[in-house]
Structure 1
Amino acid sequence: MNKDMQGRNQLLWGLIVIAVGVLFLIDFDMPPIGQLWRYWPFLVMIFGAVKLIPPTAPKHVVDGLCQIAFAGWFYASFEHLWGLTFNNSWPILVIIAGISMLVQPVVIKYTAKKEENQ
């Protein structure tokens, strides 16, 4: 992991800890812990978004989008949104992996060409 990503991760975790502290400070009505764990995919989505803002490498763009897609799939399957379950929707993960494998070299090649032209 390069220094830029380490700095981003530290910034993200710092913001999360601050948000949790503020919620406790304002006496936020905390739902039971058993209900909170179902929202962990949103943390994965946040980490994916951090890779996108601003993208430091083409690989980060693709990785961030794949993390967001995975977390969205997991949440939709867990909550049975649109009739999705883990049993009937696992091929979506295969599709996400395939798209990642196709898009990553294209994005890297496109950005390399763009940098050459500048």
Structure 2
Amino acid sequence: MVTLGTVVMGVSDVERAVRFWGEALGYVLREPVEDGWAVLIPAGRPGPGLALTVSETPARDHPRTHLDLYAADAAEQAAEVDRLLSLGAQRVDWDRYPEDPDFIVLADPEGNRFCVIDTSHG
């Protein structure tokens, strides 16, 4: 059986993406950035890596692939959204929210969408 090793995300500025996602997730570089390519891994714990590679295409308004970041409850979700915004994330005016969402859609400094999920929600 295979396991998830790395999620790959295209970005225009690898160094900026490394700073944002490293701080956002508590990840560290697996090896130095080279040739427009970097892989972040969890610092001292198991989990998938996040590969960042140069892409010349813009982030999509309704991406087919994105990251879900889990929060334990609504209070943690709100605190994490505030923290991520302070790191450079932006709120997204998402036109596909359900009536009572358990997620908040944000975009990283590159415009890549991700969600912060309240895992205690219904």
- TM (norm. structure 1) is 0.25
Query: Which structure's residues are more often helix, by fraction?
Result: 1
**Structure with the larger RCO, 1 or 2 (CA within 8 Å, 6+ apart):** 2
Structure of higher CA gyration radius: 1
- TM (norm. structure 2) is 0.24
